Chain A
């Protein structure tokens, strides 16, 4: 189950290619104008994947953190795992999104401004005693090697958060979001095994991290694919 908590800036439907199917949104559920089940959008490709879309024409104050938490509790009967897409910032939208969460995944890029913001978010999450794990997104191994980009180790050291995944920068993401198709559906996508590993770690499995350093990331990836 995916929940788009970015009220007013709805986008999860667009990247998933589900934008034409939306009838109701989560604000309408909270306001009692429809049933929860009516607002859930079933994915075209995955039997068990649902999206609860954000409202596009409302703003973040349309619902309170308490209402949002109650909404998330109500999703338990529809899904084993609920992923809440939290809006950027530390204001109302963020407070709503974390109100219903039991753990947090912080996604950041290896840039100074992003890391400073991530640090602030980590501080806010710590105040609420939420377990936190980190995904480092859009890393460019060749720049890390030449010392022009913060490394995974640098970021983990600065933020002191457990690592959940390392996602290399890849233009395939732009291509698949253009089409509204999840990148993991593409068998040949370089990032597919990366996301697969993140999902398995979330499921509690111990999965070793891909070494982006030795011999070029893509070369290694292809050889590991060949090796199965």
Chain B
């Protein structure tokens, strides 16, 4: 009788729960069984991000975390310095110096500006910082892990 009442009010039986639980558990099973996939993804992520900023390749952490109702890719990619567009770096001058961070990632950006910075570059770097702070506030949505940003030590 209770079951009947439950169903009357649109609550499905336990099969829906089983399906959702299986979906999540198989997703994390498949990811943990494919370390080479994570490695390849890490390699590609670094390649893309390196076009814009210099990252510390030895401290990169990419992993998969199980949350309440989803499985998320977590990337922790420390930034060493920002490529200056004038310096013939692969950065395209038309695009903004900092690309949108890859999907749900925690960008732990420890930014230290390079020593001999010429003034236009410094301006640009300062702009970058402002942008970054702004992004941080925006990014601090409820539930989303706030990226830890260390202020730059401009020389």
- Residues of A whose CB lies within 8 Å of any CB of B are 111-112, 115-116, 119-120, 123, 144, 146-151, 154, 158
B16 CB within 8 Å of chain A: yes
Residues from chain A with a CB closer than 8 A to the CB of B33 are: 123
Give B5 Cβ to nearest chain A Cβ, in Å.
Answer: 13
Q: Rank and list the top 8 A-B pairs by shortest CB-CB distance, nearest first.
A: A147-B13, A148-B13, A147-B12, A150-B15, A147-B15, A112-B18, A154-B19, A119-B26
Task: Classify the interface of chain A: helix, strand, loop or mixed.
Answer: helix
Interface string of B26-70 (1 = CB under 8 A from A): 100110010000000000000000000000000000000000000
B22 CB within 8 Å of chain A: yes
Contact sample, A vs B, 5 pairs, CB 8 Å cutoff: A115-B22, A116-B29, A119-B29, A146-B3, A146-B7
Using known A-B contacts A116-B26, A116-B29, A158-B23, determine if residue A151 contacts B18 with beta carbons closer than 8 Å: no
Residues from chain B with a CB closer than 8 A to the CB of A149 are: 13, 15
B135 CB within 8 Å of chain A: no
Residues from chain B with a CB closer than 8 A to the CB of A116 are: 22, 25-26, 29
Asked whether, in the complex, the Cβ of B19 is within 8 Å of the Cβ of A158, the reply is yes
Residues from chain A with a CB closer than 8 A to the CB of B19 are: 150, 154, 158
B124 CB within 8 Å of chain A: no
In the complex, number of A-B residue pairs with CB atoms less than 8 Å apart: 39
A120 to B16, CA, bound (A): 21
Asked whether, in the complex, the Cβ of A147 is within 8 Å of the Cβ of B22, the reply is no
Asked whether, in the complex, the Cβ of A147 is within 8 Å of the Cβ of B23, the reply is no
Asked whether, in the complex, the Cβ of B26 is within 8 Å of the Cβ of A148, the reply is no
Asked whether, in the complex, the Cβ of A120 is within 8 Å of the Cβ of B29, the reply is yes
Give A121 Cβ to nearest chain B Cβ, in Å.
Answer: 12
Nearest to B34 among chain A residues (CB) is: A123
Asked whether, in the complex, the Cβ of A158 is within 8 Å of the Cβ of B13, the reply is no
Give B23 Cβ to nearest chain A Cβ, in Å.
Answer: 7
Give B47 Cβ to nearest chain A Cβ, in Å.
Answer: 28
Asked whether, in the complex, the Cβ of A144 is within 8 Å of the Cβ of B22, the reply is no
Using known A-B contacts A123-B33, A146-B3, A147-B7, determine if residue A154 contacts B25 with beta carbons closer than 8 Å: no
B14 CB within 8 Å of chain A: yes
A119 to B15, CA, bound (A): 18
